[in-house]
């Protein structure tokens, strides 16, 4: 294991940035989100949860998919993936400070975007990125990642790091991680095993004491699909839902998007942007919408997270317990409330 003094972290960022792009939690206008690092930006590794997850690195909130130029009846299609591939080949990226829950969320996204047919826009960014995770040392009451088998004190990733008041501790886990370590190892010294073990023990003790640590998922199984779908509790759970979509936009695993065309003076741009299953016009077609009430849309979101997705992905839930929806839902209609109401032996 390696370590670097906390006051030298800017040297580490600068060293990485010499040859690679660096996405890192940055504080701006009072909020912390992932952004491209440059000298002078206020990095905030101590922030437990960025407002939006690092999903935005691989699956941007908006991105161009192609461009069209017309000349009479002739149409030229411009594939923007070529420029994207050239950009990432020239300068691959490091996503720094990714928490265990957000790293698990990337696994959820991989199963969607890298399954056949592969989403090449996502694939290009994903393959170009080295992920440096950061263990949690101060979990919050809204956290419940342990319910989904995630160890916040020992996250996976190409490199795993731990941060205390004095040092950042560093351990490479993959070939990508070893390559990055080779690039920056001159800044590090050996040591840190005892400090990391102590921090892990303290973090696990906190996690076990959190209010949502014992949420029961035992009822959310494929064989209970019809029973859960028809549960009358959905009506009362959803009756105060505003359909604002906040939960989907802060969620690290939501992957719904819309595709639109935008006309410019130089042609037409086709782009995609995040969408939300909580919106009344989601998947709206000429004949109408198959989910016409907010209850149906609310139910769809949480059935997908807890039943549909895991039934198709070897039991992997499409929730990672990050707690962002717990913090952000203006009506407190988050997934914890659904699990408490419908989970385990709720109907016994």
Measured between its terminal Cα atoms, the distance across the chain in Å is 50
How far is the C-alpha of 146 from the C-alpha of 129, rounded, in Å?
A: 26
Q: What share of the chain is helix, strand, coil (3-state, %, to 5)?
A: 40, 20, 40
Kindly give the residue spans of alpha helices, DSSP state H, lying in the chain: 9-19, 55-58, 81-90, 100-113, 120-128, 175-184, 193-209, 225-229, 233-238, 246-250, 294-303, 309-312, 324-328, 335-342
Report residue 304 as tokens. Answer: 């997908």
Q: CA of 64: how far to CAs of 14, 61, 273, in Å?
A: 30, 11, 9
Q: Tokens 């076990």 correspond to what residue?
A: 208
Rounded Cα gap, residues 270 and 275, in angstroms:
15
At 312 the three-state DSSP class reads: helix
- Give this prediction's pTM: 0.92
| pLDDT digit string (tens) for the chain, length 348 residues | 999 999 999 999 999 999 999 999 999 999 999 999 999 999 999 999 999 999 999 999 999 999 988 888 888 888 888 777 676 655 799 999 999 999 999 999 999 999 999 999 999 999 999 999 999 999 999 999 999 999 999 999 999 999 999 999 999 999 999 999 999 999 999 999 999 999 999 999 999 999 999 999 999 999 999 999 999 999 999 999 998 999 999 999 999 999 999 988 878 999 999 998 888 777 766 666 677 789 999 999 999 999 999 999 999 999 999 999 999 999 988 999 999 999 875 444
Token output for 144:
């419940």
Whole-number Å distance between alpha carbons of 284 and 291: 9
* Residues 6+ away with beta carbon under 8 Å from 12: 4, 168, 184, 187
């Amino acid at each position: 294991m390696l370590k670097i003094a906390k006051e030298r972290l800017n040297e580490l960022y600068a060293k990485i940035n010499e040859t690679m792009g660096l996405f890192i939690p940055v504080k701006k206008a009072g909020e912390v989100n992932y952004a491209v690092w440059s000298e002078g930006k206020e990095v905030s590794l101590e922030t437990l949860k960025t407002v939006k997850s690092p999903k935005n690195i691989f699956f941007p909130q908006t991105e161009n998919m192609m461009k069209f130029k017309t000349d009479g009846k002739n149409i030229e299609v411009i594939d923007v993936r070529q420029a994207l591939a050239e950009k990432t080949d020239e300068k691959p990226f490091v996503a720094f400070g990714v928490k265990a829950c957000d790293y698990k969320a990337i696994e959820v996204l991989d199963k969607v975007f890298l399954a056949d047919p592969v989403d090449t826009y996502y694939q290009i960014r994903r393959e170009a990125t080295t992920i440096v995770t950061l263990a949690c040392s101060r979990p919050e009451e809204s956290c419940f990642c342990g319910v989904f088998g995630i160890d916040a004190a020992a996250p996976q990733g190409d490199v795993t790091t731990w941060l205390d008041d004095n040092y950042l501790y560093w351990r490479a886990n993959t070939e990508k991680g070893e390559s990055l370590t080779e690039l920056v190892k001159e800044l590090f010294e050996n040591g840190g095993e005892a400090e990391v073990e102590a921090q892990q023990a303290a973090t696990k003790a906190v996690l076990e004491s959190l209010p949502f640590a014992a949420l029961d998922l035992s009822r959310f199984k494929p064989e209970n699909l019809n029973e859960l779908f028809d549960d009358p509790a959905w009506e009362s759970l959803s009756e105060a839902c505003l359909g604002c979509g906040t939960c989907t936009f802060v969620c690290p695993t939501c992957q719904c998007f819309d595709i639109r065309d935008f006309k410019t003076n130089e042609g037409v741009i086709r782009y995609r942007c995040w969408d939300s299953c909580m919106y009344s016009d989601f998947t709206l077609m000429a004949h109408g919408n198959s989910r016409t009430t907010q209850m149906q849309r609310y139910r769809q979101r949480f059935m997908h997270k807890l039943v549909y997705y895991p039934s198709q992905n070897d039991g992997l839930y499409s929730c990672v317990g990050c707690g962002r929806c717990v913090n952000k839902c203006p009506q407190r209609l988050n997934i914890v409330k659904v699990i408490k109401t419908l989970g385990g032996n709720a109907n016994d």
